[in-house]
Amino acid sequence: MIEIIVLLILLILGYGFGSYREKRHYQSILEREEQLRHIMLFESRFPPDIKTSGDAQLVQGNVVISADYFKIFVAGLRKLVGGRLRSYESLLDRGRREAILRMKEQANKAGASKIFNVKFETSSISKGEQNTLGSIEVLVYGSALS
């Protein structure tokens, strides 16, 4: 009985805080994306033949993000039948967009307007209980040019 109550409290806490923070985070991501839209990202290995000035500088952004209890629980249920784990998709999306924004902020501070050779890397730095999703690190880096 007590176990069920604890589980319910954890689920409610996870859902409440998790979805509130996700909403807030998306709001701030959208605002900052608008502010930094003038910085262009390119995945090409070589800069195109356009006028650039100054030297390249390595810029990077990283974020470690973790899922809330509710998301882990829902994903656990979803795993029984398979298919899309929507609760984790939004988590990775947020992490990646946040990392891009941090990289763009760094480039902005250095006075650059373009970032070339953008590379992404995602790694799981710790596992949760029973091998569930723990914390995930997203790293993005590239060369900034003005």
Partner 1 sequence: MLLSNMEIIPQRKINKHLGLVQGSTVRAKHVGKDILAGFKNILGGELVAYTELMTEARDEATQRMVEQAESIGANAVLNVRFATSSVAQGAAELFAYGTAVVLEPERGVSEPTATPTSE
Is residue 25 a contact point for partner 1 (CB under 8 A)? yes
**Strands laid side by side in the 133-145 sheet:** 40-41, 114-127, 133-145
Pairing between β-strand 114-127 and β-strand 40-41 as defined by DSSP bridges = parallel
Is residue 125 a contact point for partner 1 (CB under 8 A)? yes
Q: How far apart are CA 61 and CA 131, in angstroms?
A: 27
- From first CA to last CA, the distance across the chain in angstroms is 63
Is residue 127 a contact point for partner 1 (CB under 8 A)? yes
Q: How far apart are CA 127 and CA 78, in angstroms?
A: 19
Q: How many residues bind partner 1 (CB under 8 A)?
A: 54
Residue with tokens 């319910």: 8
72 vs 85, beta carbon nearer partner 1: 72
26, 32, 66, 105: residue in contact with partner 1 (rule CB under 8 A): 66
- Hey, which residues between 92 and 121 contact partner 1 (CB under 8 A)? 98, 110-112, 116-117, 119, 121
Q: How far apart are CA 133 and CA 125, in angstroms?
A: 10
**Of 9, 39, 34, 18, nearest in space to 109 by CA:** 39
13, 27, 43, 76: residue in contact with partner 1 (rule CB under 8 A): 13
3 vs 82, beta carbon nearer partner 1: 3
Binding residues for partner 1, rule: CB under 8 A, are 10, 13-14, 17-18, 21-22, 25, 45-47, 52-58, 60, 62-72, 91, 98, 110-112, 116-117, 119, 121, 123-128, 134-135, 137, 139, 141-143, 145-146
